[in-house]
A and B are shown apart, each in its own frame.
Chain A
Amino acid sequence: MSVRGRRYLLVAILLGISGFALYALSVGSAEIDSPWKHIFSPSLQGASHDVIWDIRFPRVLAALLIGAALGVAGAISQAATNNPLADPSIIGTTAGASFGAAIAVILSIASIGTWPVTLFAFLGALFASLATFAASRSAIQLVIVGIATSALLSALVGLLLTIADRPDARSIAFWSLGSLALVSMSSISLLAPVVIVGVIVAWYISQRLDLLALGDAEVRFLGKNPQRMRLGAFLIISLLIATAVSTVGSIAFLALAAPHITRFLIGPSNRPLVIGSAVIGAGLLLIADTAARAIVPPFELPIGLITSLIGAPILILVLRRSSEVWR
């Protein structure tokens, strides 16, 4: 697709997402009279105002930010490992973040939604992805070792939750399945700067990752060190995933699907791919979260189910139609 075509497509998708964001503000378990009046006049006070602007608005923002973070983390994972199967939950990052966050909460170092938890999640994510990285010598080993690391750390989180005799253990379990229900405006003040900086740095380093498509051997023949190129990528993936996991838990599938859908729309070059994956990831998570809370109010469906329900058919459709990419 031409650069101009890509821009039009991106603008059209952004407009669609903005429209959907407004719709997302208007739906939810609480019955509200004339929600649109409060959406377009945020200065009107009252219970409806509070529901829309104090509960739903941060949630919509969080869905957009976390969706963008997951999309970008997925795009960078696939580029850095030169592997279409790679996503942060396969290379160990997500399980590492969950492990770090669970340690912080269970040892009463911090409570969910505060920055020390994010820090622990980041350290866990970084440790897990670097361990995966150090134990593997090729892109395919990275995936296999990553799956093993993830299994190990997930088992440890499970053990911690079973042993911990604490009232909030249940909420940790809920959050390890992924939910945006606990998001507040104070989560946004941590989430927004980290995700924005993370996406910008990802965009900046992503162009160099194009080279990895040539394979590690050719990169070395060009005088560059492919493992060193991956290191920066793993730092960014850990940062984005730690922020996402420590705020809303682990959300299935999105980080794998968003970059593939984006690649189908605008091609494989990593710089446009990072921006596109942020937009597609944001849109998908917003739709998924809105569906999760609007389908059977006042109950909430687990968000991971919805991301899979929406993402999987789109991913299969995209891969079937892009026979040139997958032979």
Chain B
Amino acid sequence: MIDIKDLTLGYSSRVVLKNFSAHITAASITAIVGSNGAGKSTLLSAIAGAHTPLSGSISIDGKDTVTIGAKEFAEIRAVAQQSHSYWMAYSVAQILHLGHESLATSHIEEVAKSFGILEILPQSITALSGGQLQRVEIARAFMRDLPLVLLDEPFASQDLASQEALIKRFDEERRNGKTIVLVAHRERSSLAWCDQIIDLGQ
């Protein structure tokens, strides 16, 4: 599914990841771990196509993330960012519909239910807790049923019960053939349910 070759990532002032290579198979869950500043989110964002590598390449099913067309890429991967701040009081239902105009309301509600946010659909997106907001973003990422889903710290604001529920959902999606790559701020020992762990170390 994903081939990362001799990848160097960074910003104008510093390199955060150097000559990194990895392979991620389809229908698997991969966790990216490492200490603060090790480049976890930068790597995820590079796989998502939002960060251009300084050198090396990332290809998804043979397509380079730098040269692939925006429309085509949009049909391959969905991304849940850590959290985006909203200031306009759209309802949660409206936020889930945005960009998903072709999807039936029944499908949107079904996905919302599976992430435990069905009852907050009428609420304002600005009135949610951090954990709820994060689950809305994760639900959005699974809404279009794309083959690759990238999640930045999906557990950051979740209580234990919600974390367990999320892990169960990710497992279901993996069995449905989805490839999931997530950034985790957890102990390696608590990531046994993942197929692969990419440890970026210090």
Contact = CB atoms under 8 A, between A and B. Distances in A.
B94 A269 contact: yes
B99 A322 contact: no
Contacts of A220: 50, 70
B161 to A, nearest CB: 25
Contacts of A269: 90, 94
A223 B74 CA distance: 5
Given A211-B98, A221-B77, A326 B84 contact: no
Which of B70, B84, B88, B89 has most chain A Cβ within 10 Å? B88
A263 B79 contact: no
A214 interface: yes
Interface residues of B, number: 26
B99 A211 contact: yes
B89 A322 contact: yes
A2 to B, nearest CB: 12
Contacts of B81: 215, 217-218
B16 to A, nearest CB: 18
B95 A214 contact: yes
A105 to B, nearest CB: 39
A318 B89 CA distance: 14
Interface string A208-241: 0011011101111111110000000000000000
Contacts of A267: 89-90
Interface string A305-326: 0000000000000000010111
A324 B50 contact: no
Contacts of B78: 221
A268 interface: yes
B6 interface: no
Contact of A324 (B73, B99, B126): B126
15 contacts: A84-B88, A210-B90, A213-B90, A213-B95, A213-B98, A214-B98, A214-B99, A215-B81, A218-B79, A221-B50, A223-B72, A263-B89, A268-B89, A322-B89, A327-B127
For the complex of A and B, list the 9 residue pairs with the smallest distance between their C-beta atoms, beginning with the closest: A223-B74, A268-B88, A325-B89, A215-B84, A223-B71, A222-B99, A223-B70, A221-B79, A324-B124
